[in-house]
Amino acid sequence: MKMARRSTRRTVARLAGGALLAPALLLGLDAAPVAAQSRLYVHAFEQASGALVTDLDRAEVIVREDGIVRPVVDVRLANLPARVVILVDNSRRARRGLDRVQEGLQYFVDRLPPYQEVSIVTLSPNPRWLVQGEIEPVPIREGIERLGVGGRSLRLLDGLVMAGEWLAEDSGPFRGVLVVISTAGVDRSRASTQRFTEMVEQARDAGMRAHTLLMQPLNPNVLRRGVTLPEAVGRDLETYTEGSYRRASLGSDLRDALGGIADRILERNRELARQHLVRYDRPPDAPSGTVHVTVTRFGVRYVVSTDGKSTH
Protein backbone atom coordinates (compact mmCIF):
# COMPACT_ATOMS: atom_id res chain seq x y z
CA MET A 1 0.00 0.00 0.00
CA LYS A 2 1.33 3.36 -0.96
CA MET A 3 1.95 5.58 2.04
CA ALA A 4 0.00 8.81 2.07
CA ARG A 5 2.13 11.69 1.06
CA ARG A 6 3.13 13.88 3.94
CA SER A 7 2.17 17.44 3.18
CA THR A 8 4.35 19.53 5.40
CA ARG A 9 6.52 22.49 4.69
CA ARG A 10 9.93 22.98 6.17
CA THR A 11 10.32 26.51 7.39
CA VAL A 12 13.53 28.41 7.95
CA ALA A 13 13.92 31.22 10.44
CA ARG A 14 17.09 33.22 10.69
CA LEU A 15 17.95 33.93 14.32
CA ALA A 16 20.67 36.39 15.11
CA GLY A 17 22.08 37.27 18.51
CA GLY A 18 19.97 40.09 19.90
CA ALA A 19 17.88 40.21 16.73
CA LEU A 20 15.07 42.00 18.55
CA LEU A 21 17.36 44.65 19.97
CA ALA A 22 18.51 47.93 18.56
CA PRO A 23 22.26 48.03 17.86
CA ALA A 24 22.69 51.07 20.11
CA LEU A 25 20.01 51.64 22.71
CA LEU A 26 19.49 55.00 24.36
CA LEU A 27 20.69 53.88 27.78
CA GLY A 28 23.79 52.38 26.21
CA LEU A 29 22.59 48.83 26.80
CA ASP A 30 24.37 46.10 24.87
CA ALA A 31 22.47 43.64 22.72
CA ALA A 32 21.99 40.38 24.60
CA PRO A 33 22.87 36.93 23.23
CA VAL A 34 20.14 34.54 22.17
CA ALA A 35 18.47 33.01 25.22
CA ALA A 36 19.49 29.49 26.23
CA GLN A 37 15.85 28.45 25.93
CA SER A 38 14.64 29.97 22.68
CA ARG A 39 11.12 30.36 21.37
CA LEU A 40 9.37 30.24 18.04
CA TYR A 41 5.75 30.60 16.97
CA VAL A 42 4.07 28.08 14.67
CA HIS A 43 0.79 28.75 12.86
CA ALA A 44 -0.40 25.35 11.63
CA PHE A 45 -3.44 24.55 9.50
CA GLU A 46 -4.92 21.57 7.63
CA GLN A 47 -3.87 21.67 4.00
CA ALA A 48 -7.13 20.18 2.71
CA SER A 49 -9.61 22.34 4.61
CA GLY A 50 -7.56 25.26 5.87
CA ALA A 51 -8.84 24.54 9.39
CA LEU A 52 -6.65 25.79 12.21
CA VAL A 53 -4.62 23.16 14.07
CA THR A 54 -4.80 23.76 17.82
CA ASP A 55 -3.41 20.54 19.29
CA LEU A 56 0.19 20.16 18.18
CA ASP A 57 2.27 17.99 20.48
CA ARG A 58 5.93 18.34 21.40
CA ALA A 59 6.72 15.04 19.65
CA GLU A 60 5.41 16.48 16.37
CA VAL A 61 7.84 19.40 16.21
CA ILE A 62 11.53 19.09 15.28
CA VAL A 63 13.90 22.06 15.57
CA ARG A 64 17.32 22.02 13.92
CA GLU A 65 19.91 24.78 14.13
CA ASP A 66 22.58 24.51 11.45
CA GLY A 67 21.65 20.83 11.16
CA ILE A 68 21.89 20.16 14.90
CA VAL A 69 18.68 18.94 16.53
CA ARG A 70 17.72 21.14 19.48
CA PRO A 71 15.60 19.57 22.24
CA VAL A 72 12.01 20.83 22.11
CA VAL A 73 10.95 21.36 25.72
CA ASP A 74 7.41 22.66 25.30
CA VAL A 75 4.69 23.16 22.68
CA ARG A 76 1.45 24.87 23.66
CA LEU A 77 -1.08 27.36 22.35
CA ALA A 78 0.57 30.76 22.36
CA ASN A 79 -2.31 32.81 23.76
CA LEU A 80 -1.29 32.35 27.38
CA PRO A 81 -3.14 34.32 30.07
CA ALA A 82 -1.90 37.91 30.19
CA ARG A 83 -0.82 39.57 33.44
CA VAL A 84 -1.01 43.34 33.07
CA VAL A 85 1.14 45.48 35.38
CA ILE A 86 0.56 49.25 35.20
CA LEU A 87 3.27 51.57 36.57
CA VAL A 88 2.09 55.13 37.26
CA ASP A 89 4.21 58.21 37.90
CA ASN A 90 2.39 59.90 40.79
CA SER A 91 5.19 62.32 41.67
CA ARG A 92 4.49 66.02 42.19
CA ARG A 93 5.52 66.65 38.62
CA ALA A 94 2.58 64.50 37.49
CA ARG A 95 0.06 66.17 39.84
CA ARG A 96 -1.69 68.20 37.14
CA GLY A 97 -2.40 65.09 35.11
CA LEU A 98 -3.45 62.55 37.77
CA ASP A 99 -7.19 63.09 37.31
CA ARG A 100 -6.74 62.42 33.61
CA VAL A 101 -4.63 59.34 34.40
CA GLN A 102 -7.40 57.94 36.60
CA GLU A 103 -9.99 58.61 33.93
CA GLY A 104 -7.83 57.06 31.23
CA LEU A 105 -6.95 54.01 33.33
CA GLN A 106 -10.59 53.19 34.00
CA TYR A 107 -11.28 53.47 30.28
CA PHE A 108 -8.26 51.23 29.59
CA VAL A 109 -9.36 48.56 32.07
CA ASP A 110 -12.93 48.59 30.75
CA ARG A 111 -11.64 47.74 27.25
CA LEU A 112 -9.76 44.65 28.45
CA PRO A 113 -11.41 41.19 28.49
CA PRO A 114 -13.55 40.32 31.53
CA TYR A 115 -11.55 39.08 34.51
CA GLN A 116 -8.27 40.27 33.04
CA GLU A 117 -5.62 40.24 35.77
CA VAL A 118 -4.41 43.77 36.52
CA SER A 119 -1.82 45.15 38.94
CA ILE A 120 -1.03 48.82 39.61
CA VAL A 121 2.25 50.22 40.99
CA THR A 122 2.79 53.86 41.97
CA LEU A 123 6.32 55.22 41.55
CA SER A 124 6.60 58.01 44.14
CA PRO A 125 8.07 58.43 46.67
CA ASN A 126 8.90 54.71 46.33
CA PRO A 127 7.36 51.90 44.27
CA ARG A 128 4.20 50.63 45.98
CA TRP A 129 1.51 48.16 44.99
CA LEU A 130 -1.96 49.72 44.84
CA VAL A 131 -3.44 46.63 43.20
CA GLN A 132 -1.67 43.29 42.95
CA GLY A 133 -2.92 40.44 40.79
CA GLU A 134 -6.62 41.37 40.85
CA ILE A 135 -9.19 40.08 38.38
CA GLU A 136 -12.36 41.52 39.91
CA PRO A 137 -13.39 44.96 38.59
CA VAL A 138 -14.30 46.50 41.96
CA PRO A 139 -10.84 46.20 43.62
CA ILE A 140 -9.21 47.41 40.40
CA ARG A 141 -11.50 50.44 40.23
CA GLU A 142 -10.88 51.19 43.91
CA GLY A 143 -7.13 51.01 43.30
CA ILE A 144 -7.42 53.53 40.47
CA GLU A 145 -9.46 55.82 42.73
CA ARG A 146 -6.72 55.65 45.40
CA LEU A 147 -4.15 57.16 43.06
CA GLY A 148 -2.78 60.23 44.81
CA VAL A 149 0.19 62.57 44.63
CA GLY A 150 3.33 61.08 46.16
CA GLY A 151 6.63 62.85 46.76
CA ARG A 152 9.09 64.78 44.64
CA SER A 153 11.06 61.71 43.61
CA LEU A 154 10.21 59.46 40.66
CA ARG A 155 11.59 55.90 40.89
CA LEU A 156 10.79 54.39 37.52
CA LEU A 157 13.70 51.94 37.28
CA ASP A 158 13.01 50.69 40.81
CA GLY A 159 9.37 50.12 39.92
CA LEU A 160 10.23 48.26 36.73
CA VAL A 161 12.66 46.00 38.57
CA MET A 162 10.09 45.32 41.32
CA ALA A 163 7.40 44.45 38.78
CA GLY A 164 9.80 42.28 36.78
CA GLU A 165 10.90 40.35 39.86
CA TRP A 166 7.30 39.79 40.92
CA LEU A 167 6.35 38.41 37.51
CA ALA A 168 9.48 36.22 37.43
CA GLU A 169 8.45 34.57 40.72
CA ASP A 170 5.53 32.89 38.92
CA SER A 171 6.71 29.86 36.97
CA GLY A 172 3.27 29.21 35.49
CA PRO A 173 2.39 29.83 31.85
CA PHE A 174 1.47 33.48 31.27
CA ARG A 175 2.37 36.54 29.20
CA GLY A 176 3.54 39.64 31.01
CA VAL A 177 2.36 43.06 29.82
CA LEU A 178 3.84 46.26 31.25
CA VAL A 179 2.10 49.62 30.86
CA VAL A 180 4.19 52.61 31.95
CA ILE A 181 2.56 56.03 32.44
CA SER A 182 5.26 58.55 33.33
CA THR A 183 6.38 62.13 33.09
CA ALA A 184 9.82 63.01 31.78
CA GLY A 185 10.99 63.95 35.27
CA VAL A 186 14.29 63.13 36.94
CA ASP A 187 14.49 59.51 38.04
CA ARG A 188 15.91 58.92 41.53
CA SER A 189 15.95 55.14 41.43
CA ARG A 190 18.44 53.13 43.42
CA ALA A 191 18.46 50.30 40.88
CA SER A 192 21.42 50.31 38.52
CA THR A 193 21.22 50.44 34.76
CA GLN A 194 22.69 46.91 34.77
CA ARG A 195 19.83 45.64 36.92
CA PHE A 196 17.35 47.26 34.56
CA THR A 197 19.14 45.64 31.61
CA GLU A 198 18.88 42.21 33.22
CA MET A 199 15.19 42.72 33.95
CA VAL A 200 14.40 43.78 30.38
CA GLU A 201 16.39 40.89 28.90
CA GLN A 202 14.41 38.47 31.07
CA ALA A 203 11.19 40.17 29.99
CA ARG A 204 12.12 39.88 26.33
CA ASP A 205 13.06 36.22 26.67
CA ALA A 206 9.70 35.56 28.37
CA GLY A 207 7.78 37.21 25.53
CA MET A 208 6.70 40.24 27.56
CA ARG A 209 5.43 43.40 25.85
CA ALA A 210 5.87 46.89 27.31
CA HIS A 211 3.88 49.99 26.36
CA THR A 212 4.93 53.46 27.50
CA LEU A 213 2.88 56.67 27.61
CA LEU A 214 5.06 59.69 28.35
CA MET A 215 3.27 62.80 29.64
CA GLN A 216 4.98 66.10 28.86
CA PRO A 217 3.98 69.70 29.65
CA LEU A 218 3.10 72.06 26.82
CA ASN A 219 6.40 73.89 26.82
CA PRO A 220 8.31 74.92 23.67
CA ASN A 221 11.62 74.52 25.53
CA VAL A 222 10.97 70.78 25.89
CA LEU A 223 12.08 70.31 22.29
CA ARG A 224 15.52 71.76 23.01
CA ARG A 225 16.51 69.72 26.02
CA GLY A 226 18.23 66.35 26.12
CA VAL A 227 16.56 62.97 26.40
CA THR A 228 15.52 62.17 29.97
CA LEU A 229 15.82 58.74 31.55
CA PRO A 230 12.04 58.02 31.41
CA GLU A 231 12.09 58.81 27.69
CA ALA A 232 15.11 56.56 27.12
CA VAL A 233 13.51 53.77 29.15
CA GLY A 234 10.29 54.03 27.17
CA ARG A 235 12.06 53.85 23.83
CA ASP A 236 14.30 51.00 24.95
CA LEU A 237 11.30 49.03 26.23
CA GLU A 238 9.60 49.52 22.89
CA THR A 239 12.68 48.25 21.06
CA TYR A 240 13.43 45.35 23.40
CA THR A 241 9.88 44.03 23.73
CA GLU A 242 8.31 45.13 20.43
CA GLY A 243 5.79 47.12 22.43
CA SER A 244 4.89 50.78 21.90
CA TYR A 245 5.95 54.29 22.92
CA ARG A 246 3.71 57.33 22.74
CA ARG A 247 3.68 60.90 24.04
CA ALA A 248 0.79 62.98 25.34
CA SER A 249 0.44 66.43 26.87
CA LEU A 250 0.43 66.44 30.67
CA GLY A 251 -3.15 67.08 31.78
CA SER A 252 -4.73 66.11 28.45
CA ASP A 253 -7.39 63.45 27.89
CA LEU A 254 -5.60 60.08 27.92
CA ARG A 255 -8.50 57.83 26.98
CA ASP A 256 -7.51 57.65 23.33
CA ALA A 257 -3.86 56.88 24.11
CA LEU A 258 -4.60 54.27 26.77
CA GLY A 259 -7.45 52.83 24.72
CA GLY A 260 -4.95 52.36 21.91
CA ILE A 261 -2.70 50.35 24.24
CA ALA A 262 -5.68 48.20 25.24
CA ASP A 263 -6.41 47.61 21.56
CA ARG A 264 -2.81 46.48 21.03
CA ILE A 265 -3.17 43.98 23.86
CA LEU A 266 -6.43 42.66 22.40
CA GLU A 267 -4.90 42.38 18.93
CA ARG A 268 -1.96 40.43 20.35
CA ASN A 269 -4.43 38.09 22.06
CA ARG A 270 -6.15 37.42 18.74
CA GLU A 271 -2.82 37.04 16.95
CA LEU A 272 -1.49 34.42 19.37
CA ALA A 273 -4.79 32.53 19.60
CA ARG A 274 -4.05 31.12 16.13
CA GLN A 275 -0.55 29.87 16.95
CA HIS A 276 1.55 27.51 19.02
CA LEU A 277 4.50 28.61 21.13
CA VAL A 278 7.50 26.31 20.73
CA ARG A 279 10.33 26.44 23.26
CA TYR A 280 13.60 24.68 22.63
CA ASP A 281 16.96 24.47 24.40
CA ARG A 282 20.19 25.74 22.92
CA PRO A 283 23.63 26.23 24.53
CA PRO A 284 23.92 29.82 25.82
CA ASP A 285 27.35 30.23 24.23
CA ALA A 286 26.40 28.74 20.85
CA PRO A 287 26.72 31.11 17.89
CA SER A 288 23.46 31.99 16.18
CA GLY A 289 22.59 29.92 13.15
CA THR A 290 19.84 29.07 10.68
CA VAL A 291 16.90 27.34 12.33
CA HIS A 292 14.78 24.78 10.44
CA VAL A 293 11.42 23.72 11.87
CA THR A 294 9.57 20.59 10.79
CA VAL A 295 6.04 19.61 11.83
CA THR A 296 5.67 15.87 11.27
CA ARG A 297 1.88 15.56 11.29
CA PHE A 298 0.45 14.42 7.94
CA GLY A 299 -1.56 16.90 5.92
CA VAL A 300 -0.46 19.96 7.86
CA ARG A 301 1.11 23.13 6.54
CA TYR A 302 2.54 25.80 8.77
CA VAL A 303 4.24 29.16 9.05
CA VAL A 304 7.00 29.84 11.57
CA SER A 305 8.06 33.19 13.01
CA THR A 306 10.18 34.49 15.87
CA ASP A 307 7.64 37.11 16.96
CA GLY A 308 4.23 35.55 16.38
CA LYS A 309 3.33 38.10 13.71
CA SER A 310 3.68 36.03 10.53
CA THR A 311 0.40 34.17 10.08
CA HIS A 312 -1.38 32.51 7.16
Residue-range domain boundaries for the chain: 11-77+276-305, 82-270
Q: With a cut of 50, say whether residue 228 has pLDDT above it.
A: yes
What is the mean pLDDT of the segment spanning 101-109? 98
**Mean pLDDT on 106-126:** 97
Closest CA relative to residue 68, chosen from 302, 280, 308: 280
Express each pLDDT in 236-257 by its tens digit: 999 988 999 999 999 999 999 9
Q: Is the pLDDT of residue 266 over 60?
A: yes
More confident residue, 17 or 10: 10
Nearest-10 Cα torsion for 44, 47, 49, 50: 40
Check whether 179 has a pLDDT greater than 50.
Answer: yes
Radius of gyration of the chain (CA): 21
Q: Does the pLDDT at position 222 exceed 60?
A: no
Rounded mean pLDDT, 113-137: 97
| Cα–Cα dist 265/262, whole Å | 5
Which pLDDT does position 309 carry in this prediction?
79
Query: Residue 225: pLDDT above 80?
Result: no
Name the fold adopted by 82-270: Rossmann fold (3.40.50)
Average pLDDT for 22-35: 43
User: What residues does 304 pair with on adjacent strands?
Assistant: 42
Average pLDDT, the chain: 86
Maximum Cα–Cα distance across the chain: 80
| pLDDT on residue 4 | 34
